[in-house]
Amino acid sequence: MAADQLSRVFSALADPTRRDMVARLTLADATVNELAEPYDVTVQAVSKHLRVLEEAGLVSRSREAQRRPVHLEAEVFDLMTTWIERYRRQAEERYRRLDDVLRSMPDGIEPTPPPRPETGASR
Amino acid sequence: MAADQLSRVFSALADPTRRDMVARLTLADATVNELAEPYDVTVQAVSKHLRVLEEAGLVSRSREAQRRPVHLEAEVFDLMTTWIERYRRQAEERYRRLDDVLRSMPDGIEPTPPPRPETGASR
DNA sequence: AGTGTGTTCAACCGAAAGGTTGAACACGAC
DNA sequence: GTCGTGTTCAACCTTTCGGTTGAACACACT
Protein backbone atom coordinates (compact mmCIF):
# COMPACT_ATOMS: atom_id res chain seq x y z
CA MET A 1 0.00 0.00 0.00
CA ALA A 2 0.97 3.57 -0.50
CA ALA A 3 3.35 2.07 -3.00
CA ASP A 4 3.84 4.92 -5.45
CA GLN A 5 6.26 7.72 -4.80
CA LEU A 6 3.68 10.47 -4.86
CA SER A 7 1.86 8.77 -2.01
CA ARG A 8 5.08 8.39 -0.11
CA VAL A 9 5.97 12.04 -0.55
CA PHE A 10 2.59 13.33 0.57
CA SER A 11 2.59 10.91 3.44
CA ALA A 12 6.08 11.92 4.50
CA LEU A 13 5.11 15.58 4.60
CA ALA A 14 1.91 14.89 6.49
CA ASP A 15 3.90 14.77 9.70
CA PRO A 16 4.74 18.17 11.26
CA THR A 17 8.06 16.97 12.64
CA ARG A 18 9.18 15.69 9.27
CA ARG A 19 7.99 18.87 7.61
CA ASP A 20 10.05 20.86 10.07
CA MET A 21 13.08 18.72 9.38
CA VAL A 22 12.70 19.34 5.67
CA ALA A 23 12.39 23.05 6.34
CA ARG A 24 15.60 23.04 8.33
CA LEU A 25 17.38 21.03 5.69
CA THR A 26 16.74 23.75 3.15
CA LEU A 27 19.19 25.83 5.19
CA ALA A 28 21.94 23.29 5.65
CA ASP A 29 22.69 19.60 5.63
CA ALA A 30 22.63 18.10 9.10
CA THR A 31 23.36 14.94 10.99
CA VAL A 32 20.75 12.85 12.73
CA ASN A 33 21.80 14.16 16.12
CA GLU A 34 21.68 17.76 15.00
CA LEU A 35 18.25 17.20 13.55
CA ALA A 36 17.01 15.52 16.68
CA GLU A 37 18.16 18.21 19.05
CA PRO A 38 15.15 20.57 18.92
CA TYR A 39 12.54 17.86 19.29
CA ASP A 40 11.41 16.14 22.40
CA VAL A 41 11.87 12.63 21.09
CA THR A 42 14.67 10.12 21.03
CA VAL A 43 17.27 10.11 18.33
CA GLN A 44 15.95 6.75 17.19
CA ALA A 45 12.57 8.25 16.44
CA VAL A 46 14.23 10.92 14.31
CA SER A 47 16.19 8.22 12.54
CA LYS A 48 12.91 6.57 11.67
CA HIS A 49 11.51 9.83 10.36
CA LEU A 50 14.55 10.15 8.18
CA ARG A 51 14.01 6.74 6.73
CA VAL A 52 10.53 7.78 5.73
CA LEU A 53 11.85 10.92 4.10
CA GLU A 54 14.55 8.94 2.38
CA GLU A 55 12.13 6.36 0.99
CA ALA A 56 10.07 9.22 -0.33
CA GLY A 57 13.16 10.48 -2.12
CA LEU A 58 13.14 13.72 -0.18
CA VAL A 59 16.54 13.29 1.43
CA SER A 60 19.71 11.34 0.85
CA ARG A 61 22.44 10.36 3.27
CA SER A 62 26.12 10.14 2.59
CA ARG A 63 28.72 8.53 4.76
CA GLU A 64 31.38 10.73 6.34
CA ALA A 65 33.39 9.04 9.03
CA GLN A 66 30.85 7.84 11.54
CA ARG A 67 28.46 10.64 10.73
CA ARG A 68 25.69 10.39 8.16
CA PRO A 69 24.93 13.88 6.93
CA VAL A 70 21.42 14.26 5.60
CA HIS A 71 20.90 16.19 2.40
CA LEU A 72 17.64 17.51 0.98
CA GLU A 73 16.67 16.43 -2.52
CA ALA A 74 14.46 19.33 -3.45
CA GLU A 75 13.64 18.10 -6.94
CA VAL A 76 11.01 15.80 -5.50
CA PHE A 77 8.93 18.86 -4.74
CA ASP A 78 8.24 19.02 -8.45
CA LEU A 79 6.37 15.75 -8.25
CA MET A 80 3.85 17.34 -5.96
CA THR A 81 3.56 20.69 -7.64
CA THR A 82 3.05 18.95 -10.99
CA TRP A 83 0.19 16.93 -9.57
CA ILE A 84 -1.35 19.85 -7.71
CA GLU A 85 -1.08 22.30 -10.56
CA ARG A 86 -2.54 19.86 -13.03
CA TYR A 87 -5.75 19.45 -11.09
CA ARG A 88 -5.90 23.01 -9.97
CA ARG A 89 -5.85 24.02 -13.59
CA GLN A 90 -8.46 21.43 -14.44
CA ALA A 91 -10.69 22.71 -11.67
CA GLU A 92 -10.28 26.30 -12.74
CA GLU A 93 -11.02 25.38 -16.32
CA ARG A 94 -14.21 23.73 -15.18
CA TYR A 95 -15.32 26.77 -13.20
CA ARG A 96 -14.59 28.94 -16.19
CA ARG A 97 -16.79 26.78 -18.40
CA LEU A 98 -19.50 26.75 -15.78
CA ASP A 99 -19.41 30.51 -15.57
CA ASP A 100 -19.77 30.75 -19.33
CA VAL A 101 -22.81 28.54 -19.29
CA LEU A 102 -24.43 30.46 -16.49
CA ARG A 103 -23.61 33.77 -18.09
CA SER A 104 -25.17 32.70 -21.39
CA MET A 105 -28.43 31.81 -19.68
CA PRO A 106 -31.43 34.08 -19.85
CA ASP A 107 -31.83 35.30 -16.32
CA GLY A 108 -33.55 33.14 -13.82
CA ILE A 109 -33.33 29.85 -15.68
CA GLU A 110 -31.26 28.18 -13.01
CA PRO A 111 -29.91 25.30 -15.06
CA THR A 112 -31.36 21.91 -14.28
CA PRO A 113 -28.05 20.49 -15.42
CA PRO A 114 -27.90 17.53 -17.80
CA PRO A 115 -28.84 14.25 -16.08
CA ARG A 116 -25.43 12.86 -15.18
CA PRO A 117 -22.74 15.04 -16.73
CA GLU A 118 -19.05 14.16 -16.79
CA THR A 119 -18.87 12.25 -13.52
CA GLY A 120 -17.29 9.23 -15.12
CA ALA A 121 -14.29 10.65 -16.86
CA SER A 122 -10.96 10.75 -15.05
CA ARG A 123 -8.32 8.09 -14.86
CA MET B 1 -1.84 14.77 16.34
CA ALA B 2 -1.83 15.89 12.76
CA ALA B 3 -3.88 18.71 14.13
CA ASP B 4 -3.04 21.51 11.73
CA GLN B 5 -4.69 21.83 8.39
CA LEU B 6 -1.52 21.48 6.37
CA SER B 7 -0.94 18.08 7.92
CA ARG B 8 -4.50 17.09 7.24
CA VAL B 9 -4.25 18.12 3.60
CA PHE B 10 -1.00 16.29 2.97
CA SER B 11 -2.32 13.29 4.82
CA ALA B 12 -5.55 13.30 2.85
CA LEU B 13 -3.70 13.32 -0.45
CA ALA B 14 -1.31 10.60 0.63
CA ASP B 15 -3.96 8.04 -0.25
CA PRO B 16 -4.19 7.12 -3.96
CA THR B 17 -7.93 6.55 -3.82
CA ARG B 18 -8.55 9.94 -2.29
CA ARG B 19 -6.21 11.53 -4.80
CA ASP B 20 -8.17 9.93 -7.59
CA MET B 21 -11.42 11.17 -6.12
CA VAL B 22 -10.04 14.68 -6.00
CA ALA B 23 -8.93 14.34 -9.61
CA ARG B 24 -12.39 13.29 -10.67
CA LEU B 25 -14.00 16.08 -8.71
CA THR B 26 -12.08 18.62 -10.75
CA LEU B 27 -14.30 17.54 -13.64
CA ALA B 28 -17.66 17.56 -11.90
CA ASP B 29 -19.34 17.39 -8.54
CA ALA B 30 -20.47 13.89 -7.67
CA THR B 31 -22.41 11.94 -5.10
CA VAL B 32 -20.90 9.36 -2.79
CA ASN B 33 -22.30 6.52 -4.84
CA GLU B 34 -21.00 7.93 -8.08
CA LEU B 35 -17.60 8.38 -6.52
CA ALA B 36 -17.59 4.87 -5.14
CA GLU B 37 -18.49 3.18 -8.38
CA PRO B 38 -15.00 2.74 -9.91
CA TYR B 39 -13.36 1.43 -6.76
CA ASP B 40 -13.45 -2.03 -5.36
CA VAL B 41 -14.53 -0.99 -1.89
CA THR B 42 -17.81 -0.45 -0.13
CA VAL B 43 -19.65 2.81 -0.29
CA GLN B 44 -19.04 3.20 3.44
CA ALA B 45 -15.33 3.20 2.90
CA VAL B 46 -15.69 5.95 0.32
CA SER B 47 -17.84 7.87 2.74
CA LYS B 48 -15.00 7.68 5.21
CA HIS B 49 -12.53 8.91 2.62
CA LEU B 50 -14.81 11.83 1.96
CA ARG B 51 -14.88 12.73 5.60
CA VAL B 52 -11.10 12.88 5.57
CA LEU B 53 -11.13 15.11 2.52
CA GLU B 54 -13.80 17.27 4.10
CA GLU B 55 -11.89 17.69 7.34
CA ALA B 56 -8.89 18.72 5.31
CA GLY B 57 -11.05 21.37 3.68
CA LEU B 58 -10.61 19.84 0.26
CA VAL B 59 -14.28 19.16 -0.38
CA SER B 60 -17.63 20.33 0.84
CA ARG B 61 -20.99 18.65 0.75
CA SER B 62 -24.34 20.25 0.20
CA ARG B 63 -27.71 18.70 0.79
CA GLU B 64 -29.93 18.09 -2.22
CA ALA B 65 -32.90 15.89 -1.51
CA GLN B 66 -31.43 12.68 -0.14
CA ARG B 67 -28.24 13.10 -2.14
CA ARG B 68 -25.15 14.83 -0.81
CA PRO B 69 -23.23 16.13 -3.81
CA VAL B 70 -19.54 16.55 -3.16
CA HIS B 71 -17.80 19.67 -4.34
CA LEU B 72 -14.09 20.30 -4.63
CA GLU B 73 -12.65 23.29 -2.78
CA ALA B 74 -9.59 23.89 -4.88
CA GLU B 75 -8.35 26.90 -2.92
CA VAL B 76 -6.83 24.58 -0.35
CA PHE B 77 -4.25 23.63 -2.93
CA ASP B 78 -2.69 27.03 -2.30
CA LEU B 79 -1.86 26.00 1.23
CA MET B 80 0.38 23.30 -0.08
CA THR B 81 1.95 25.17 -2.93
CA THR B 82 2.73 28.04 -0.61
CA TRP B 83 4.56 25.73 1.76
CA ILE B 84 6.33 23.84 -1.00
CA GLU B 85 7.38 26.91 -2.94
CA ARG B 86 8.66 28.60 0.16
CA TYR B 87 11.11 25.87 0.97
CA ARG B 88 11.94 25.10 -2.60
CA ARG B 89 13.00 28.71 -2.99
CA GLN B 90 14.95 28.55 0.24
CA ALA B 91 16.75 25.44 -0.94
CA GLU B 92 17.55 26.98 -4.30
CA GLU B 93 18.82 30.10 -2.63
CA ARG B 94 21.12 28.00 -0.52
CA TYR B 95 22.51 26.16 -3.51
CA ARG B 96 23.08 29.45 -5.26
CA ARG B 97 25.08 30.80 -2.32
CA LEU B 98 27.02 27.61 -2.07
CA ASP B 99 27.90 27.80 -5.73
CA ASP B 100 29.14 31.34 -5.26
CA VAL B 101 31.42 30.28 -2.47
CA LEU B 102 32.82 27.39 -4.43
CA ARG B 103 33.27 29.51 -7.51
CA SER B 104 35.18 32.15 -5.57
CA MET B 105 37.68 29.58 -4.34
CA PRO B 106 41.14 29.40 -5.85
CA ASP B 107 41.22 26.09 -7.64
CA GLY B 108 42.03 23.02 -5.70
CA ILE B 109 41.54 24.40 -2.24
CA GLU B 110 38.87 21.84 -1.38
CA PRO B 111 37.86 23.40 1.89
CA THR B 112 38.74 21.38 4.95
CA PRO B 113 35.56 22.73 6.37
CA PRO B 114 35.38 24.31 9.83
CA PRO B 115 34.86 21.91 12.78
CA ARG B 116 31.16 21.20 12.36
CA PRO B 117 30.17 23.19 9.32
CA GLU B 118 27.07 22.99 7.22
CA THR B 119 28.58 19.84 5.80
CA GLY B 120 27.22 21.18 2.58
CA ALA B 121 29.26 20.39 -0.51
CA SER B 122 27.88 17.34 -2.32
CA ARG B 123 24.99 17.82 -4.69
C1' DA C 1 43.78 -3.15 22.60
C1' DG C 2 39.59 -0.11 24.97
C1' DT C 3 36.65 4.00 25.21
C1' DG C 4 33.49 7.30 23.34
C1' DT C 5 30.36 9.08 20.00
C1' DG C 6 27.01 8.67 16.28
C1' DT C 7 23.81 5.79 14.17
C1' DT C 8 20.87 1.96 13.31
C1' DC C 9 18.49 -2.54 14.41
C1' DA C 10 14.95 -5.23 17.01
C1' DA C 11 11.18 -5.90 19.84
C1' DC C 12 7.52 -3.97 21.84
C1' DC C 13 3.35 -0.71 22.73
C1' DG C 14 -0.79 2.26 22.06
C1' DA C 15 -3.25 4.86 18.78
C1' DA C 16 -4.78 5.73 14.32
C1' DA C 17 -5.74 4.29 9.46
C1' DG C 18 -8.44 1.75 6.12
C1' DG C 19 -11.34 -1.76 5.49
C1' DT C 20 -15.49 -4.72 6.55
C1' DT C 21 -20.59 -5.83 7.96
C1' DG C 22 -25.03 -4.59 9.79
C1' DA C 23 -28.20 -1.34 11.40
C1' DA C 24 -30.08 3.25 11.34
C1' DC C 25 -31.44 7.58 9.33
C1' DA C 26 -33.38 10.93 5.55
C1' DC C 27 -35.93 11.63 1.95
C1' DG C 28 -38.77 11.07 -2.57
C1' DA C 29 -42.22 8.18 -4.70
C1' DC C 30 -46.11 5.38 -4.58
C1' DG D 1 -48.54 5.22 5.71
C1' DT D 2 -44.82 1.66 3.15
C1' DC D 3 -41.08 1.00 -0.02
C1' DG D 4 -36.67 2.08 -2.19
C1' DT D 5 -32.60 4.61 -2.56
C1' DG D 6 -28.70 7.24 -0.79
C1' DT D 7 -25.97 8.08 3.04
C1' DT D 8 -24.06 7.74 7.54
C1' DC D 9 -23.32 5.55 12.19
C1' DA D 10 -21.40 1.79 15.13
C1' DA D 11 -18.69 -2.01 16.13
C1' DC D 12 -15.10 -4.71 14.87
C1' DC D 13 -10.57 -6.34 12.65
C1' DT D 14 -5.91 -5.95 10.82
C1' DT D 15 -2.07 -3.19 9.45
C1' DT D 16 0.60 0.87 9.77
C1' DC D 17 2.60 4.73 12.46
C1' DG D 18 5.08 7.12 15.82
C1' DG D 19 7.08 6.42 19.81
C1' DT D 20 9.82 3.88 23.40
C1' DT D 21 13.95 0.98 25.40
C1' DG D 22 18.00 -1.81 24.93
C1' DA D 23 21.44 -3.83 22.24
C1' DA D 24 24.47 -3.74 18.31
C1' DC D 25 27.33 -1.68 14.84
C1' DA D 26 30.93 1.78 12.79
C1' DC D 27 34.41 4.56 13.34
C1' DA D 28 37.87 8.07 15.54
C1' DC D 29 40.94 8.71 19.34
C1' DT D 30 44.40 7.53 22.70
The C-alpha atoms of residue B57 and residue A44 are separated, in whole angstroms, by: 34
For B74-121, the pLDDT digits (tens) are: 999 999 999 999 999 999 888 887 777 766 665 544 443 333 333 333
Assign B107 to helix, strand or coil.
coil
Burial label, A37 (beta-carbon count in 10 A; 0-12, 13-18, 19+): exposed
Residue from A17, A33, A82, A88 to probe the interface with B (highest B Cβ count within 10 Å): A88
Q: Average pLDDT of A48-72?
A: 92
**Distance of residue A106 Cα from the nearest chain B Cα, in angstroms:** 23
CB–CB of A74 and B85 under 8 A? no
Give CA separation, A23 vs A14, A29, A57, A73, in Å.
13, 11, 15, 12
- Please judge whether A62 and B122 are an interchain contact, meaning their C-beta atoms are less than 8 angstroms apart: yes
Chain A contact for B24 (CB, 8 A cutoff): yes
Using a pLDDT cut of 70, give the percent of chain A over it.
77
Tens-place pLDDT, residues A8-45: 999 999 999 999 999 999 999 999 999 999 999 999 99
Residue A29: closest CA among A55, A54, A62, A53: A62
Burial of B66 (0-12, 13-18, 19+ CB in 10 A): exposed
Please tell me whether any atom of strand C lies within 7 Å of the Cβ of B3. no
Give the C-alpha separation, A85 to B55, whole Å.
21
Please name the nucleotide lying closest to A65, CA to C1': D27
pTM over 0.75: yes
Q: Does pLDDT of A60 surpass 50?
A: yes
What CA–CA distance (Å, rounded) separates B29 from A114?
13
Q: Classify the C-alpha dihedral B94-B9-A56-A22 as positive or negative.
A: positive
pLDDT at residue A102, rounded to an integer:
64
Of the partner residues B11, B28, B88, the one whose CB lies closest to the CB of residue A74 = B88
Q: What is the pLDDT of residue A50?
A: 97
Write out which nucleotides of chain D lie closer than 7 A to a protein Cβ.
Answer: 4-10, 15-23, 26-28
- Residues of A 7-36 whose CB lies less than 7 Å from any atom of strand D: 11, 14-15, 17
Contact A77, B88 (CB under 8 A): yes
Q: Does B27 touch chain A (CB under 8 A)?
A: yes
Using the CA of B11, give the nucleotide whose C1' is nearest.
C17
Q: What is the mean pLDDT of residues A66-94?
A: 92
Q: Does pLDDT of B16 surpass 60?
A: yes
Residues B40-77: tens digit of each pLDDT: 999 999 999 999 999 999 999 998 877 899 999 999 99
Please, which residues have CB within 8 angstroms of residue A121's CB and are 6 or more apart in sequence? B24, B27, B28
Average pLDDT, chain A: 83
> DSSP letter at A67?
B
